[in-house]
Amino acid sequence: MLILAAVLAIFVYGVIAAMLGTILPGLSERFHLTPNQNGVIAFAQALGLMIASLAVGPLIDNEGKKIGLIIGLALIALALVSLPKAGGYGSIIALLFMLGLGGGVVVTGANALVSDVGEAHRGTALNLVNLFFGLGGMATPFIAANLLKRDLVKLCYAAGMFAVIALAVQWAAPIPGPTGVQSFVLADAGAVLGKPILLLCGLLLFLYVSCEVGIWNWLAQHLIAQGIPESRALNVLSLGFALGLLVGRVAVSPILITVPPATVTLVSAVAMALTSYLALKARDVKTAWILVFMAGLAMAPVFPTTLAIVGDAFPRMTGTAIGFAITCGWLGLAVSSRIIGAIAGGDPKRLKKALLVIPAFSVVMIAINLAILSALHK
C-alpha cells in the first residue's frame, strides 16, 4: 500500500510535469502569448516548486509524509480544474504557480517515502518508482494528441481526476508518522545544508532539471517551428522522450545493485550531452523520435539516483536534505526557462538556438559528477 501511494503520487507529478509543454501551444494560440511570456509562465511554476520543496522538508520530517502528500495533491487538483477557466495571462501565471506548489510538495514527499521504504537499495527503489514519473509524462501528451484531440478543458479535468484518486489513496494508506529519528532540528540545519556532498548534489540537480524541463516545456514548440505537425510533435514528446525516461529507469534499476550511483550519473551526463545536441539537429519526425528517445534513456537515472546519493549521505533529517536538493533542481527549471524564453524572444524559430542550453548544461554536469565521485571517496 505504501508503494502504491508513492507510485500514484509520482505518476501524478509526471502528468503535471508534461502538462505545461503540452498545453503551451494551445494557450499561446488562444491568448497570443510569445515565447518570452511562456518563459515567465514556466518561471511561475518553477517558483512554486522551489518554495514548496524547501518548505515541505521540515514539515514531513516533523509531521510525517502523509500530510504533505495530501496537501500537495489537493493543490494540484484545484489548480487543474481551475486552469480551463483562466481569463488571461495573469491568471495562467497564478494557476501554474499553484500547480508548482502542489508538485513540489508531492515530489519531495513521495521520494522521501520511497527513500525510507527502500532503504536497503535506495537507488534501485527510487528508479523503479520514478519510472511512473515517465509513465505520467508519456500519458499527458499522448492522451492530448490522440484521445482528446488537444482539448485543453478535457485534459485538465482528466489530470485533475488522477490527482483526486491519488489523494484518496494517500488518505487511506497506512503511511507511518514521524519516528523522531529523522525529525527536523533547527540547530542542526546549518550543518546538514552546508555539507559539500549535498551542495554538489543540489548543483547536479539544478543542471539536470534545467535540461529535462527544457525538453518538457519547449520541445513540442521547437518541433512545430521546424514544420512538424502539432500532433506528431506531441507524440515525439510522449512516445519518444517520456518513453525513454520510463525504459531507462527500468533498465538501470538492476545495474544500481552493483554499480555505484555516482558512476551511473556520470555516464548519464556524458550521454545527455551527446544525444540532446544531436536531437536538436533533427529535421524529420523519425530522426527526432529516435534521438529524443535516446536522450530520455540518457536522462532517466539522474534525478532518482542523485536523490539516492542524498538519502545515503543523510540518514537524519532526510526530508530536509532531499527537499533542499530538489529545490536546487527547481531553481534550474526557473533559470533555464527564462534563458530559453529570452533567447528565443518573440520568434519560435529561434528555439533551436535557445535549446542549446541543454547540451551545454549537460557538459557542466560531467564536471560536477567528477567532483561528487571525489567527495565520496574522501
One digit per residue, pLDDT tens: the chain, 378 residues?
777 888 888 899 888 877 877 777 777 888 888 877 887 888 888 888 888 877 777 777 677 778 888 899 999 999 999 988 888 888 999 999 999 999 888 888 887 777 766 566 677 877 777 778 777 877 887 787 777 776 778 888 888 898 999 999 888 887 766 654 444 444 455 555 667 888 999 999 999 999 988 888 788 888 888 888 888 887 888 778 888 888 898 898 889 888 999 999 999 999 999 999 999 888 788 888 999 999 999 999 998 899 889 877 776 666 778 778 888 887 887 788 778 878 887 677 788 888 999 999 999 999 999 999 998 876
Give the three-state DSSP class for 88.
Answer: coil
**pLDDT at position 185, please?**
47
Measured CA to CA, the distance from residue 209 to residue 286 in angstroms comes to: 26
Helices in 256-356 by DSSP H: which ranges?
261-279, 285-299, 302-313, 318-344, 351-354
- Give tens-digit pLDDT for 206-222: 999 999 888 887 888 88
Cα→Cα distances 251→245, 255, 264, 300, 368, Å? 10, 7, 12, 9, 24
Q: State the CATH number of the domain containing residue 266.
A: 1.20.1250.20
Residue 365: which residues within 8 A CB-CB, separation 6 or more?
Answer: 204, 207, 208, 211, 265, 269, 272, 273, 302
Amino acid letter, 205: L
Could you give the 3-state DSSP secondary structure of residue 173? coil
Element (H, E) at 39: helix 35-63
**Dist CA 234 CA 212 (whole Å):** 16
308-345 pLDDT tens trace: 898 777 766 667 787 788 888 878 877 887 788 788 87
Give a yes or no: residue 345 inside a domain: yes
DSSP string, 44-84: HHHHHHHHHHHHHHHHHHHH-HHHHHHHHHHHHHHHHHHGG
* Single pTM value for the model: 0.73
Is 225:351 a contact under the CB 8 Å cutoff?
yes
Give domain status of residue 28, yes or no: yes
User: Using CB atoms within 10 A of its CB, is residue 371 exposed (0-12), middle (13-18) or buried (19+)?
Assistant: middle
User: What does the DSSP 8-state code read for residue 260?
Assistant: -
Say if 138 falls within a structural domain: yes
Report the pLDDT value the prediction gives residue 184, as an integer from 0 to 100. Answer: 43
Per-residue CA distances from 239 to 20, 84, 186, 217 (Å): 17, 26, 45, 16
pLDDT score of 316: 67
* Three-state secondary structure call for residue 150: coil
Domain carrying residue 86 = 2-176+187-376
Look up residue 259 and give its three cell numbers: 554499480
Phi, psi of 113 (to 5 degrees): -65, -45
Output the pLDDT for position 79.
92
- Residue 163 belongs to a domain: yes
Answer yes or no: is 194 within a domain.
yes
Q: Provide the pLDDT for residue 88.
A: 84
**Per-residue model confidence (pLDDT) at position 94:** 93
Considering the domain boundaries, does residue 8 fall inside one?
yes
Q: How many domains does the chain have?
A: 1
Q: Is residue 182 part of a domain?
A: no
Residue 88 covered by a domain = yes
